[in-house]
A and B are shown apart, each in its own frame.
Chain A
Amino acid sequence: MIKILFFAALRERLDCEQYLLSCDGTMLQVTDILQQLQSRCHSWQQELSRSDLLCAVNQQLVPLSANVQDGDELAFFPPVTGG
């Protein structure tokens, strides 16, 4: 199982805080998972195709080309605005 978290404006637009994706143990790229999520509906397609989308695997910022495996925590979020 891969736990996927969404934050801030993205969480609101998807109306989803957490999504569990079953995983058969094979290594995936973040982009593979994005494709699966985008195919759910039009709004997910739109929101998860944004060029400024950021991604973290196990709480570390990574590029969308990063690998993900069973048990990982994946997060997607918009550009950060703290400080």
Chain B
Amino acid sequence: MTDMSIFVAVQSDDFCVASEYNELRRQSGCGAIVTFSGLVRELSDNQLHSMTLEHYPGMTEQALTAIAEQAQQRWQLGAVHLIHRVGSLKPHEQIVFVGIASPHRAAAFAAGEFIMDYLKNRAPLWKKEHTSNGDYWVEAKTSDQHALTRWG
């Protein structure tokens, strides 16, 4: 595929999955589209009022673009859309969107998992939870670090 396109955005505004999906359909002319959305999850032990997403402006965009490019080198992809929100978010709000268009579903599924695994370990973003018991920075999970090992 010659005209692989990458779209990356770091924004406080919400995104619309349907618009992204339609854009992926229009751009790629591929046979498969896989999309993933990550949402603000409620906590099991105390009440989450909101979450603040901090990032490193400039580096975040570069890191996300580099991850999409790595995926493009590993699989045959038509288009990758990667959107990450920053700022204050409430429970159930959308945080992250990954959309992949490819000729075949296996590549689209794999690239989506690869992009999320790398995003969780490489993109300079940090979550702070504002709960009924106080404010806490989210700790990085070792399971997220281990997830990278499957990609060699």
Whether B96 lies near A82 (C-beta < 8 A) is yes
C-alpha gap A82/B98 in the complex (Å): 13
A8 within 8 A of B: yes
Please provide the chain B residues from 37 to 80 with a CB less than 8 Å away from any CB of chain A in the complex.
38, 53-56, 58-59, 62-63
Min distance, Cβ B65 to any Cβ of chain A, angstroms: 11
Whether A83 lies near B56 (C-beta < 8 A) is no
A26 within 8 A of B: no
Set B58, B96, B126, B128: member contacting A80, Cβ < 8 A: B126
Q: How large is the interface on A (under 10, 10 to 19, 20 to 34, 35 or more residues)?
A: 10 to 19
Segment from B1-9, B19-27, B117-125 that makes contact with A:
B117-125
B140 within 8 A of A: yes
Whether A78 lies near B137 (C-beta < 8 A) is yes
**Which secondary structure dominates chain B's binding surface?**
mixed
Write out the residue numbers on chain B whose beta carbons fall within 8 Å of the beta carbon of A75.
Answer: 56, 59, 124
Whether A8 lies near B54 (C-beta < 8 A) is yes
**Given the contacts A80-B126, A81-B125, A7 and B140 also touching, CB distance less than 8 Å:** no
Closest chain A residue to B137, Cβ basis: A9
Count chain B CB atoms within 10 A of each CB in A7, A52, A60, A75 and give the residue with the most: A7
Whether A83 lies near B62 (C-beta < 8 A) is no
Closest chain B residue to A9, Cβ basis: B137
**Given the contacts A7-B54, A9-B137, A80 and B125 also touching, CB distance less than 8 Å:** yes
Q: How many residues of B contact A (CB 8 A)?
A: 27
Write out the residue numbers on chain B whose beta carbons fall within 8 Å of the beta carbon of A60.
Answer: 59, 62
Whether A80 lies near B120 (C-beta < 8 A) is yes
Set A5, A8, A83: member contacting B96, Cβ < 8 A: A83
Closest chain A residue to B10, Cβ basis: A82
Whether A81 lies near B59 (C-beta < 8 A) is no
A14 within 8 A of B: no
Write out the residue numbers on chain B whose beta carbons fall within 8 Å of the beta carbon of A5.
Answer: 56
Write out the residue numbers on chain A whose beta carbons fall within 8 Å of the beta carbon of B55.
Answer: 82
B116 within 8 A of A: yes
Bitwise, A6-36 to B at CB < 8 A (1) or not (0) is 0111001000000000000000000000000
Whether B121 lies near A80 (C-beta < 8 A) is yes
Whether B122 lies near A59 (C-beta < 8 A) is no
Set A9, A52, A56, A79: member contacting B59, Cβ < 8 A: A56
